[in-house]
Amino acid sequence: MSRCGIMSSLRYLVLSDPDIAFKVYVITPTHYLNEVTEKLFRLGIFEPIQQEVKEKELREIKEYIEFIDQAKLLYNEISSHIKQPTTIEITEIPIDTREGLRKIYRNLSPILSDIKILSNEISNMKKNLEILLLIKQLIEKILEKYPNVDTSMLNYRGSIYIIETFIASKQSINLIRSKALFTIAEIEVENYVATTILLTLKEYEELVKTLPKDVEMVNLMEKYGLISLNDVLSKLNIEIENLNQQISNASSRIEDIVKKNLTEIAMLKLLLDIEYKKIEVWRNILSSRYLTTLIGWISRSKMNSVMNALRGLPVYTTYEVDPNPPVDFNNLKPFKPFELITEMYGTPSPNEWDPTPLLTYSFILFFSLMFADIGYGIGLALAAKYILPKFVENPKALGFKRLQQVLYISSAGCIALGILSKSFFGSLLGSYLPIQPVLNYLDLISMIGFSITIGYVFVLISHLFAALKNFKLRDRGGFLSEVGIILVTLAGAQYLRQYLYSYFRANIPLIPIIYEYSLWISLIGIAAVIVGKVISLRGLGALLWLFDVVGIIGDIFSFIRIAGIGVGSALLAEIFNGFITSAFTIPNIVVGILAGIVMSFVLHLFNLANSAIGPFVHSLRLCLFEISSKFFEGFGRRVQPVKIVIEPIILGAIR
């Protein structure tokens, strides 16, 4: 995989691109409509659009029929050079047979051109060879009568008489014979006649003026000079041998070319057999116009599935890229359940990033921090599996299953952070864990500082993505504003770092070079925000920039809710643990143990039920309004395919 491909794949771990839908036209004979429609609906990936058939699609069908005829002609021509029967094993054919045909046609067209060039060369060489063999036979016949003659016996120019050698077709030879005073020698083969004749100069001049195009004069005197015919015969033998070798070489080259492309030639034949059956139907139907067109949206990634499902049916599919198409989510499998969170804010537009991967990490982290307890994590997973389904009409619905998956993954995060904070129903069982706690939920100030640090990092990341988005869209004002906010966030935090640590123990990461010039960088950042806002909003931007700069602090401090909810849940657990511990001190040991067990179950179940909603809601708020809102507009529309789904049927009134 190329470096760009690897980087693109890695980006899908943070932000993904939506799966843009194509407007697809499926044209089929009317009597095939039900079968085609059922296949599409069973796939569950086709959103139909009501629209009349266009002449454009009919024209495309006609053009495709013409293309198939051209491809058939190409196959016939190129396969004519296959001399021996050959069996080729085809194990797989393209899902999109039309595109596969076009690709093979593009590949084989220049190859056929090369073969034609070689074939023409062979044809010319064979013609020359036939003439040379004819001349050779003519010379041999002359030598039988006149053993010691030279080339003047074939070509002689005198003041009264002329000796000339002609090669002519059988239709034209009589004209030459009629002018001859004497025929020295003549050889006749299947297509040509070679003759050497004696004629007067006057007859020769008249003959030359009236010679047909299929008559050729052979001037061996000019070619070889005045030499004996025995020497000419030797030279002819060499030329004939060379021509035979050249013909053999050219034929071998054609065989090699065909041999190297046998698989593609076989694939061409197979695809033509498939498509030819369809276009024979189209030829008849186009004239009768008994056609139906299904028009709808299909996500780009699902196009192959459609081609595969409709293979073998007489359908013609084409598509176009719409300027404002619907989209579908295109996330890696682990992120699929968390598309629910993104959809609460909106659906990605075709040209913007889908924040689902980033929101996945964010939601799990925020929820786990607000609900960090091993026992509560286990309880949440059990509730999601056994209790939540009782409150919904269809527990097998995809949306509900994804909600369950979100809760399962989040509960795993709660268990992990519960271990780090040494919390298992608070200290009730957590005190027995043999680890040193990393997080102390009973220290409010430390948790506030930790929450501020998390908020600082996520707000900075959000504005970084916003800057990249505006750069991608070439929005100069928006890009400049976001760069300014990033500078203010980096430099301002460095400038205020010691105060944040003193009051909240917020350990903001230190960047030395920024810390040294934090005031100047902050001023440059503010200036960039002002200029960017003026570019985007004109005069109004000169006033509204202040809200963006001040809003950074509000956005960061909004993350304090992580500490508030997490500490509140932990404190309530500890208060309940105080009650439970006191129950175990009852003098009657049996009563004390039973009371403690009952109180542990009831009180912590209450805390679980009471505290679980807060982390869910506030994690959503942080994800949607403090992170994704910075760079995600969500004005797109999701593809809504028609599906044939088998699911439980609810009969009777729902009470």
What percent of the chain has a predicted confidence (pLDDT) above 70? 92
- Cβ distance 522 to 496 under 8 Å? no
Closest among 344, 394, 296, 382 to 648, alpha carbons compared = 394
Split at pLDDT 50, 70, 90, the class of 314 is confident
What pLDDT is attached to residue 273?
80
Structure tokens belonging to residue 569: 């849940």
Q: What are residue 423's phi and psi, to 5 degrees?
A: -130, 115
Q: SS3 for 94?
A: coil
367 SS3 class: helix
Residue 40 reports pLDDT greater than 60: yes
By CB atoms closer than 10 A (0-12, 13-18, 19+), residue 436 is: exposed
Number of H helices, E strands in the chain: 22, 10
Q: What is the per-residue pLDDT for 655?
A: 41
Task: Give pLDDT tens digits for 48-83.
Answer: 886 555 566 667 777 878 888 888 888 888 888 887
Residue 314 CA to residue 279 CA, distance in Å, equals: 8
Statement: residue 649 has pLDDT above 50: no
**pLDDT confidence bin for 95, thresholds 50/70/90:** low
How much is the CA Rg of the chain, to the nearest whole Å? 44
The pLDDT, as a whole number, for residue 1 is: 45
- Does residue 7 carry a pLDDT above 60? no
- The dihedral built from the CA positions of residue 156, 162, 168 and 173, taken in this order, carries a sign that is negative
Residue 196's DSSP bridge partners are 165, 185
Q: Is the pLDDT score of 619 beyond 90? A: yes
Model confidence pLDDT, tens digit, residues 507-531: 777 677 677 777 888 888 889 888 8
Query: What's residue 653's pLDDT?
Result: 41
* Residue type present at position 589: I
Handedness of CA 346, 347, 350, 355 (dihedral sign): positive
Those residues whose C-beta lies under 8 Å from the C-beta of residue 472, and which sit 6 or more positions away, are none
Q: What is the pLDDT of residue 617?
A: 92
What is the SS3 assignment for 599-621? Answer: HHHHHHHHHHHHHHHHHHHHHHH
User: What is the total residue count of the chain?
Assistant: 655
What confidence tier does 218 reach under pLDDT thresholds 50, 70, 90? Answer: confident
Whether residue 544 has pLDDT greater than 80 = no
Top pLDDT among 225 and 585 is at 225
- Four-point Cα dihedral 437, 443, 445, 450, nearest 10: 20
C-alpha to C-alpha distance for 220 and 38, rounded to whole angstroms: 79
**pLDDT digit string (tens) for 360-398?**
999 999 999 999 999 999 999 999 999 999 888 778 888
Q: What's the pLDDT at 410?
A: 94
Q: What distances in angstroms separate CA 522 from CA 457, 470, 483, 494, 497, one per listed residue?
A: 17, 21, 11, 10, 14
Greater confidence (261 vs 497) lies with: 261
Beta strands in 288-334 (DSSP E): 291-299, 316-320, 327-328
Q: How many CA atoms lie within 13 Å of 238's alpha carbon, on the beta-carbon side?
A: 5
Q: What share of the chain is helix, strand, coil (3-state, %, to 5)?
A: 65, 10, 25
Tens of pLDDT, residue by residue over 461-502, are 999 999 999 998 888 988 999 899 888 888 887 777 777 777
Task: Determine the longest span between alpha carbons in the chain, in angstroms.
Answer: 156
Q: Which two tokens stand for residue 18?
A: 């939506």
What's the pLDDT at 618? Answer: 92
Give the Å distances, CA to CA, from 80 to 68, 460, 648: 18, 69, 60
pLDDT attached to residue 392: 83
CA nearest neighbour of 362 among 333, 332, 377, 341: 341
3-state secondary structure of 162: strand
Q: What is the pLDDT of residue 278?
A: 66
Q: For the whole model, what pTM was predicted?
A: 0.67
Element containing residue 398 per DSSP (H, E): helix 398-420
Per-residue burial over 371-394, b = 16 or more CB atoms within 10 Å of its CB, e = otherwise: bbbbbbbbbbbebbeeeeeeeeee
Q: How confident is the model at residue 304 (pLDDT cuts 50, 70, 90)?
A: confident
> Locate tokens 């913007």: which residue?
352
Half-sphere exposure (Cβ direction) of 89: Cα atoms closer than 13 Å: 1
Grade residue 160 by pLDDT with cuts at 50, 70 and 90: confident
According to the model, what pLDDT value does residue 406 have?
94
Question: What pLDDT shows up at residue 652?
Answer: 38
CATH assignment, 3-87+281-328: 3.30.70
Residue boundaries of the structural domains of the chain = 3-87+281-328, 124-251, 333-427+436-627
Residue 619 and residue 561: Cα distance in Å, rounded? 9
Percent of the chain with pLDDT strictly greater than 90: 22
- Helix (H) / strand (E) element for 169: namely strand 161-169
Residue 650: per-residue pLDDT = 39
* Lowest-pLDDT choice from 4-18, 48-62, 351-365, 406-420: 48-62
Task: Assess contact for 469 and 523: CB atoms under 8 A.
Answer: no
Q: Which residue has the tokens 């009919």?
A: 58
Nearest residue to 108 (alpha-carbon basis) of 255, 264, 274, 270: 264
What local confidence, expressed as pLDDT, does residue 132 receive?
87
pLDDT above 60 (res 237): yes
Least confident interval from 265-269, 273-277, 362-366: 273-277
Mean pLDDT for 150-172 is 86
Pairing of strands 192-200, 161-169: antiparallel
**pLDDT above 60 (res 113):** yes
What is the rounded CA–CA span in Å between residue 279 and residue 277? 6
Q: What are phi and psi of 478, to 5 degrees?
A: -65, -40
Q: What is the pLDDT of residue 55?
A: 63
Quote the DSSP letter at residue 635: B
For the segment 209-234, the average pLDDT, to the nearest whole number, is 86
Question: Confidence class of residue 19 from pLDDT cuts 50, 70 and 90?
Answer: very high
pLDDT (0 to 100) of residue 51: 59
**Res 417: pLDDT:** 93
Residues in CB range of 328: below 8 A, 6 or more apart: 18, 19, 21, 299, 301, 638, 639
Q: What is the mean pLDDT of the chain?
A: 84
Give the containing element (helix H, strand E) for 195.
strand 192-200
Q: Whole-angstrom Cα distance, residue 551 to residue 629?
A: 13
Pick from 22, 103, 569, 605: nearest CA to 295? 22
Question: Has residue 633 got a pLDDT over 50?
Answer: yes
Nearest to 248 by CA among 129, 141, 346, 343: 129
Position 593 confidence tier, pLDDT thresholds 50, 70, 90: confident
